[in-house]
Amino acid sequence: MTTKNLSKMLKNCILTPHNHTLFCILSSLPHCICAVLRMVSKNKWKAYGIALLLLSACDRANVYQKVWQFENHQWPMTTVLDFSFQIKITDRAYDIFLLAKHSPSYPYQNLYVTYYLEDDTEHLLREELVNCPISHPKTGKPLGHGIGNTKTCVFPVVTNHQFSQAGLYRLKLEHSMRTDVLPGLQAIGIKVVPSKPISQ
145 secondary structure, DSSP code: B
Candidate CATH numbers 1.10.3210.10, 2.60.120.260, 3.40.47.10, 3.50.50.60; the one for domain 64-194? 2.60.120.260
Beta carbons within 8 Å of 36's beta carbon, 6+ residues apart: 6, 47, 50, 51, 54
CB 178 within 8 A of CB 57: no
**What is the spatial distance between Cα 163 and Cα 169, in angstroms, rounded to a whole number?**
9
Q: What is the mean pLDDT of the chain?
A: 79
SS3 81: strand
What's the whole-number mean pLDDT along residues 76-91?
A: 96
pLDDT in tens, 61-72: 568 999 999 999
pTM for the predicted model, two decimal places? 0.68
Give pLDDT, residue 1.
Answer: 53
Question: Please, where are the H alpha helices in the chain?
Answer: 3-15, 21-42, 44-61
Predicted confidence at residue 31, as pLDDT, reads: 44
pLDDT digits (tens, 9 = 90+) for 20-61: 434 444 444 444 444 444 444 455 444 444 444 444 444 455
- Read off the pLDDT of residues 143-159 as tens digits, 9 standing for 90 and up: 999 988 999 999 999 99
> Over the stretch 148-192, which tens digit does the pLDDT of each residue have?
899 999 999 999 999 999 999 999 999 999 999 999 999 999 999
DSSP, residue by residue, 155-194: EEEEEEE--SSSEEEEEEEEE--SSSEEESEEEEEEEEEE
Q: Does residue 18 or residue 132 have the better pLDDT?
A: 132
CA separation (Å) from 25 to 32, 57, 135, 136, 149? Answer: 9, 8, 23, 25, 21
Domain ranges of the chain: 3-61, 64-194
